[in-house]
Amino acid sequence: MRRHFQLPAEDTEYLENCGLQWETVAENQDRRVVIYGSPVPAGYNVTTVDINLRIVNGYPDTQIDMAYFSPLLARSDGKAIGAVVNYNFDGKVWQQWSRHRTGTNPWRPGLDNIESHLLLVEEWLKRELGKG
């Protein structure tokens, strides 16, 4: 597994303990954590996806935003998923979900990290299935 850049120790420990393979991949100025085979809730076209998270300069004080999935997700009921676009990274097409923190759920430097962001991503996946 590639380790193009180093993460804070708490992120590395979390990723090592989650039981999935993961990499840190840098392509040009784009740095990503790629997590392989992450389960998704029933109601999508696949049962697992690869997820990548963009790690910006200044992380962990600067927030992680959005999430990127491969293969592209679709709802099993055929309803469209809003606010998604395709994004090329590391030789693959990823589906960028334009979901963001809000003023009532801001990034908390010193508290938030990859684990808390993935919990938010999980909530986005569940919430999407509840939309009409």
pLDDT digit of tens for each residue in the chain (132 aa)?
999 999 999 999 999 999 999 999 999 999 999 999 999 999 999 999 999 999 999 999 999 999 999 999 999 999 999 999 999 999 999 999 999 999 999 999 999 999 999 999 999 999 999 997
How many residues are given for the chain? 132
Evaluate whether 105 touches 113 at the Cβ level (below 8 Å): no
Q: What is the pLDDT of residue 92?
A: 97
85 token code pair: 């676009």
Q: What is the pLDDT of residue 108?
A: 97
Q: What is the pLDDT of residue 132?
A: 78
Q: What is the pLDDT of residue 85?
A: 98
Q: What is the pLDDT of residue 112?
A: 98
Q: What is the pLDDT of residue 35?
A: 98
Residue 130 phi, psi (nearest 5): -85, -5
For tokens 């309803």, name the residue. Answer: 79
